[in-house]
Amino acid sequence: KQEVTQIPAALSVPEGENLVLNCSFTDSAIYNLQWFRQDPGKGLTSLLLIQSSQREQTSGRLNASLDKSSGRSTLYIAASQPGDSATYLCAVVSSGNTPLVFGKGTRLSVIA
């Protein structure tokens, strides 16, 4: 059974700092990994989707890497801004018909 862990559970940084969020998964046989952002009381916004054959994906100030063999992914946020404050969720699909399995998220606060 796939399990996804995110460390740290919460993180507070000053504005402008670069930061890394970590995600690990127990079964390395994944099809893809997706990072989401969730604002309080809101839905999920997809940030990046990495296929199992890819090593990284980039979108603006965000870069996600995937090391499938070690069961790890990182989300790198450059030059953080207060508007980046949210909960970041990592999720994986382990097989064709297996639904997305989520970690519990990292709650990020960027202080102005």
Partner 1 sequence: NAGVMQNPRHLVRRRGQEARLRCSPMKGHSHVYWYRQLPEEGLKFMVYLQKENIIDESGMPKERFSAEFPKEGPSILRIQQVVRGDSAAYFCASSPGTTSYGYTFGSGTRLTVV
Tell me the CA distances in angstroms from 92 to 4, 48, 79, 98, 99, one per residue in order. Answer: 8, 12, 27, 9, 8
* Interface with partner 1 (CB under 8 A), residue from 93, 106, 108, 110: 93
76 binds partner 1 (CB under 8 A): no
* Interface with partner 1 (CB under 8 A), residue from 10, 31, 70, 83: 31
Query: Which stretch, 10-18, 20-28, 68-76, 102-110, contacts partner 1 (CB under 8 A)?
Result: 102-110
* Interface with partner 1 (CB under 8 A), residue from 25, 66, 73, 105: 105
Tell me the C-alpha distance between 22 and 74, whole Å: 5
* Interface with partner 1 (CB under 8 A), residue from 12, 18, 26, 46: 46
32 binds partner 1 (CB under 8 A): yes
The DSSP call for residue 87 is E
Please give the angle made by the CA atoms of 43, 71 and 18, to the nearest 5 degrees.
Answer: 60
Tell me the C-alpha distance between 6 and 31, whole Å: 19
Tell me the C-alpha distance between 34 and 16, whole Å: 25
* Binding interface with partner 1 (CB under 8 A): 31-32, 34, 36, 41-46, 49, 51, 89, 91, 93, 95-105
